[in-house]
Amino acid sequence: MKILENFVSGTNDILWSYLLIILLIGLGLYFTFRTKFVQFRMIGEMFRLLGEGASGDKKGVSSFQAFCISTASRVGTGNLAGVAIAITAGGPGAVFWMWLIALIGSASAFIESTLAQIYKVKDGDTYRGGPAYYMEKALNARWMGITFAVLISLTFGLAFNSVQANTITSAFSESFGIEKWIIALVLAIVTAVIIFGGIKRIAKVSEVIVPIMAGAYVIVALIVIIMHIPELPGVLALIFESAFNDLRQLAGGALGAAMMNGIKRGLFSNEAGMGSAPNAGATAEVSHPVKQGLIQAFGVFVDTLVICSSTAFIVLFSGLYTSNESDGIILTQNALEASVGSWAGIFLTFIVLLFAFSSIVGNYYYGESNIGFINDRKIWLNIYRVLVVGMVVFGSLASLNFVWSLADLLMGLMAIINLIAIALLGKIAFAALADYQKQKKSGKNPVFHVNNIKGLKNVECWGNPADQTNQSKNS
């Protein structure tokens, strides 16, 4: 087992240090230029669409609910622990590189979620889709879709969920002295009730949890910033000075610690280009695929520029980033307590619960969507649900170092497959964006039809004019 663990860890270093980072940054820059910086010039439209998606009564999943599902999965304990460790390992400059990766990666998030919307399929009165679906329909490569579907189901639904469950039980056991098996049992029951209820129940739970957890954490972070407002210019200067020291190292042929840790944390956290969030984006009922592409791109900003930055400022203002503490949650907890008092430990325990549990729910759905792609017989989905609940129990009680390393490796492979697909299919998303902008300029609420893009094939949900009329009324 130790030999296998060392192999997995070594493979992770190769994937993340070289090939995957090059692909993610390279394609992010390519999509940024080809879309004429869509993530910046259409930021106002993102806000407008997010508000539009939160209103109205839809039979299926609203665009706001789809946004919450993807945010639930994106925003996990890595936003608390991972950011703190990135700063202690790489210095304050890691924050700058984390920001930069989010700004670049949001273009990739736009492309993959737009494609997921175009190639989504009906699932009762809702939809499902994602990379596996556009690999099969647009690239005629079902084998590629199957490979991706297996990887994401194992990575998110099983491995990552066991890690999130482990974080919850550890936090509550440490703070309140509750036996881990009791926490595991409660967690398993609540998880089962939600996931056996299907996508609508998942959407409703995410719609409630995500704004509460994100809002509460950001408010506390803002309080910390206000308390340290005289120190803010110095902290910002520290971030940029450390980052540009890395640039000088890069000019000398060395990749700096801040750069590497910031890039890794940004990529791991916002998941842009990795093929996970499009599974949630495909569920939304919108009148044009670009609408959800923009909303999902906005999700990258929320994850990194808002949530991760909140942790970064809490840690930097405390001065504890120079400590040798290796547990990121404990480091963040100590940093928060240093600013606002001992009550922060209890507060952070409940924030960990919300962050981790929302990730369990969101991660599960990614697996559900892809199990349906592999085989749509109900028995296979129910078996998968039982396995997810079982992994929640296992993760609550076991040591998971190997599971975490294996999940990182599988996620790297999953991301590479998706990046190849969106590189090949990017022109379809570019055409959809051009169509959206053309309709907006003419004063219309953009409505998509398969004929809007010349030569588009194997599209199931955008061919009936009546469907587009109904979607336009709802979005």
* Alpha carbon separation from 235 to 94, 96, 170, 319 (Å, rounded): 13, 12, 32, 10
Q: Residue 428: pLDDT above 70?
A: yes
Q: What tokens were used for 125?
A: 């009165």
Tell me the pLDDT of the chain averaged across its residues.
81
What does the pLDDT average to over 25-31?
A: 91
Phi, psi of 284 (to 5 degrees): -70, 145
Residue 435 confidence (pLDDT)? 94
What does the pLDDT average to over 162-181?
A: 79
Q: Residue 468: pLDDT above 70?
A: no
> Whose CA is closest to 247, among 93, 99, 102, 101?
93
Residue 141 confidence (pLDDT)? 93
Domain range 14-440, its CATH number among 3.20.20.70, 1.20.1740.10, 1.10.10.10, 3.40.50.300: 1.20.1740.10
Q: Residue 297: pLDDT above 80?
A: yes
For 165-174, 300-309, 311-320, which range has the lowest pLDDT when averaged over its residues?
165-174
Angstrom distance (rounded) from CA 252 to CA 135:
40
Angstrom distance (rounded) from CA 57 to CA 64:
12
What does the pLDDT average to over 442-450?
A: 89
H/E stretch holding 127: strand 126-128
Percent above pLDDT 90 for the chain: 20
Residue 472 confidence (pLDDT)? 47
Q: What tokens were used for 314?
A: 């809490």
Angstrom distance (rounded) from CA 30 to CA 185:
47
Q: What is the pLDDT of residues 252-267, one digit of tens each?
A: 444 556 666 667 766 6
Q: DSSP labels for 70-122?
A: HHHHHSSGGGTHHHHHHHHHH-THHHHHHHHHHHHHHHHHHHHHHHHHHT-EE
Among 114-118, 209-213, 239-243, the range with the most confident prediction by mean pLDDT is 114-118
DSSP at 60: S
Residue 119 confidence (pLDDT)? 94
Q: What is the pLDDT of residues 339-381, one digit of tens each?
A: 888 787 788 888 878 888 888 888 888 888 888 888 888 888 8
> Whose CA is closest to 210, among 351, 309, 310?
351
Q: What tokens were used for 81?
A: 């622990």
Q: What is the pLDDT of residues 104-149, one digit of tens each?
A: 989 999 999 999 999 999 887 788 899 999 999 999 999 999 999 9
Residue 11 confidence (pLDDT)? 53
For 84-93, 195-204, 330-339, 412-421, which range has the lowest pLDDT when averaged over its residues?
195-204
Q: Residue 46: pLDDT above 50?
A: yes
> Whose CA is closest to 352, among 157, 169, 195?
169
Q: Count of H helices and E strands in the chain?
A: 22, 2
Percent above pLDDT 70 for the chain: 84
Domain spans in the chain, listed from the N-terminal domain onward: 14-440
Residue 7 confidence (pLDDT)? 45
Sign of the four-CA dihedral 437, 103, 219, 225: negative
What does the pLDDT average to over 14-27?
A: 73
> 65 near 206, Cβ under 8 Å?
yes
SS3 label, residue 175: helix
Higher local confidence (pLDDT), 176 or 138: 138
- Its pTM stands at 0.86
> 199 near 365, Cβ under 8 Å?
yes
Residue 206 confidence (pLDDT)? 75
What Rg, from alpha-carbon coordinates, does the chain have? 21
Place 469 in a pLDDT band, splitting at 50, 70 and 90. very low
Higher local confidence (pLDDT), 312 or 55: 312
> 130 near 43, Cβ under 8 Å?
no
Q: Residue 452: pLDDT above 80?
A: yes
Q: What is the pLDDT of residues 389-416, one digit of tens each?
A: 888 888 888 766 666 666 777 777 888 8
Residue 3 confidence (pLDDT)? 47
Sign of the four-CA dihedral 373, 378, 382, 387: negative
